Amino acid sequence: MKEGLVLVAKLMASIIFLAVAVEAAASSGHSLSLPGCPDKCGNVSIPYPFGIGPLCAATSISSYFNVTCNDTFHPPRPMVGDSETLVEITDVSLERGEMRVLSPVNHICFTSNTTSTKFIGGYELKRTPFLPSPSRNRFTVIGCNTLGLIGGYMGTASQYVTGCYSFCEGINSTSDGVPCAGMGCCETAIPTNLTAFEVAFEMNQSKVWGFNPCFYAMVTEIGWYSFQQKDLVGRLGFIDDRAQRGAPIIADWAIRNGSCPEEGSDYACISANSYCMEASNGPGYLCQCSKGYEGNPYLLNGCQDIDECALRKQDPKYKDMYPCRKGVCYNTPGGYLCKCKIGKRSDGTNFGCRPLHTTAEQVVIGKAMYGDFTSVSLH
C-alpha cells in the first residue's frame, strides 16, 4: 500500500516535471545568437547573422552585421553602421529580413525669412546589406509651402529623384490626423533598390516662416507619422515632441553575396530544416526555417521543431491555429498528429474526431470498439 503510494507520487512528480519542461522549452525557445554570445542589447534581440561585437556577428558575410551595444544609455541601445553613419536599432526580424532603425529627421528652420539652420543627412547603402523597404516606408514631408525632394541611385547606375509638395495658408487650414495629401504634409512612395538617397528642400518661406518656422523631410515607416497642427509650430517642435531619437525606417536586409539555390562554403542557411529565399528588394537571399520549424536558420540546428501540442495547452489561440477537435494531439517533427480516441474516428478533416456511431448505436454495440486516427503533416 505504502509502496504503491510512493510510486504514484513519483509518477505524479515526473508528469509535473515533464509538463514544466515542455512549457519552458516552448516558451523560452533557443537562443537566436551565436553560442556564447549575448542575444540582447537592452531589450532588443540581436539574432545571428547580427551580433554584438565582430566575434559574435557574421562579419565574413558583411562587416555591417557587427552591432555595437552602447551601454551609456539605460537600457543600452544597439547601434549599426559605420563611422560615417551610425543608427539605433529597435527591432530585427529574421523571418521578414527586416530591421527597424531610428534615423535623424532632416529639417530646415528659419529664424527670419533669410536666415536658417538645417540638418540634411543621407545614406550610402551600396556596400551594406541594407535597403529601405519600398512596401513599408514612405517619403514624408511636413511644412507649409515646401517642396521636399528625395534623390539618389537605384542600384549603381540609375539616378532617381521624386518628391512632394505641401501647401497651407495658415495653421488653421490644416487639421490633426488628416492623411498626408498636401495640407501640412505630403508623402510619396519610394522604389526598390534605393542604394543611396538624400533629401533637399525647395521652399518659399517668406510668407510662412512666421507661423511655420521648420520644414521636415524623412523616409519613414508607413503608419508611424500622423499629422498634427503643432508639428508646424515652433522651432524643432515636431522633433522635440515625437522624434527625439529619430523616425523609424524599415530596412530590408539580406545576404547580398549570392543567390538561391546557393552553393559554396559561404552558404548562410546552415541549419537543418531551413531553406533559401530570394531577397525581394535588391540582390541576394534570406534563410527561412521550414514549415513546422522556428528559430534561427543561420545557426547550426537553429531551426527547432514547433511543438504544436504544447502550444495548444499554453494558449487557446493555438487551438485554432493547430486544430485537433476532440482528438489527442501528438507532436511530430515538422507537424503533429491528431489521433482519435477509442470509440471515435476522423470527422473527415484530419483535424478532428467524431463518435464512431451515434449514441443510440453505441448503446447497442457496447464497448468493444477501437479508434482510428488521422494523421496531419504540415509539410
Ligand X SMILES: *[C@@H]1O[C@H](CO)[C@@H](O)[C@H](O)[C@H]1NC(C)=O
How far apart are the C-alpha atoms of 245 and 200, rounded to whole Å?
21
Give the range of 28-36, 203-211, 299-307, 357-365 binding ligand X by CB under 6 A.
Answer: 203-211
User: In Å, how far are 120, 219, 221 from 103, measured between CA atoms?
Assistant: 11, 9, 11
- DSSP single-letter state for residue 352: B
- Tell the smallest beta-carbon distance from residue 36 to ligand X (Å): 17
Buried b (16+ CB within 10 A) or exposed e, 180-207: beebbbbbeebebbbbbbebebebebee
One of 22, 30, 40, 63 touching ligand X (CB under 6 A): 63
Q: Confirm or reject binding of residue 172 to ligand X (CB under 6 A).
A: yes
* Residues binding ligand X: number (CB under 6 A): 27
Of 68 and 362, which CB lies nearer to ligand X in the complex structure?
68
Q: Select the residue interacting with ligand X from 93, 206, 301, 314 (CB under 6 A).
A: 206
100 Cβ contact partners less than 8 Å away, ≥ 6 residues apart: 89, 90, 91, 92, 221, 248, 249, 250, 251
Minimal distance, residue 329 CB to ligand X, in Å:
31
How far apart (Å, rounded) are the C-alpha atoms in residues 150 and 121?
A: 11
Out of 23, 68, 124, 224, which residue is the one contacting ligand X (CB under 6 A)? 68
Q: Which residues contact 83 (CB under 8 A, 6 or more apart)?
A: none
Q: Site map for ligand X, 310-349, x if CB under 6 A?
A: ----------------------------------------
For ligand X, which residue has the nearest CB? 155
Q: Alpha-carbon distance 291 to 334, whole Å?
A: 7
First to last CA, the chain: 49
CB of 124 to ligand X, least distance (A): 14
Kindly state the smallest distance separating residue 282's Cβ from ligand X, in Å.
Answer: 6
Q: Which stretch binds ligand X (CB under 6 A): 92-100, 154-162, 243-251, 351-359?
A: 154-162
Dihedral over Cα of 121, 188, 102, 250: its sign = negative
Q: Provide the minimum distance between the beta carbon of 220 and ligand X in the complex, in angstroms, as a whole number.
A: 19
Which residue of 155, 334, 343, 355 would you call a contact of ligand X, by CB under 6 A? 155
DSSP state letter for 269: -
Q: Of 207, 230, 325, 341, which lies in the binding site for ligand X, with binding defined by CB under 6 A? A: 207
Looking up cell 515632441 gives 241
Give which of 303, 307, 309, 342 is closest to 324, Cα–Cα: 309
Interface residue with ligand X, options 27, 204, 226, 377 (CB under 6 A):
204
User: Which member of 162, 257, 259, 332 binds ligand X (CB under 6 A)?
Assistant: 257
Compute the distance between CA of residue 226 and CA of residue 142 in angstroms, rounded to an integer: 10
Quick check: 262 and 234 in contact, CB under 8 A?
no
Which x/- pattern over 86-105 shows residues binding ligand X (rule: CB under 6 A)? --------------------
173 lines the binding site for ligand X (CB under 6 A): no
The answer to whether 60 contacts ligand X (rule: CB under 6 A) is: yes
Q: Using the minimum distance from each CB to ligand X, give the nearer residue, 194 or 303.
A: 194
Q: Which stretch binds ligand X (CB under 6 A): 2-10, 22-30, 69-77, 218-226?
A: 69-77
In a 3-state reduction of DSSP, which class is residue 65? helix
Q: Which residues pair with 187 in a beta bridge?
A: 140
Chain contacts with ligand X (rule: CB under 6 A)? 43, 54, 59-61, 63, 66, 68, 70, 72, 75, 113-114, 155-157, 170-172, 192-193, 204, 206-207, 257, 266, 282
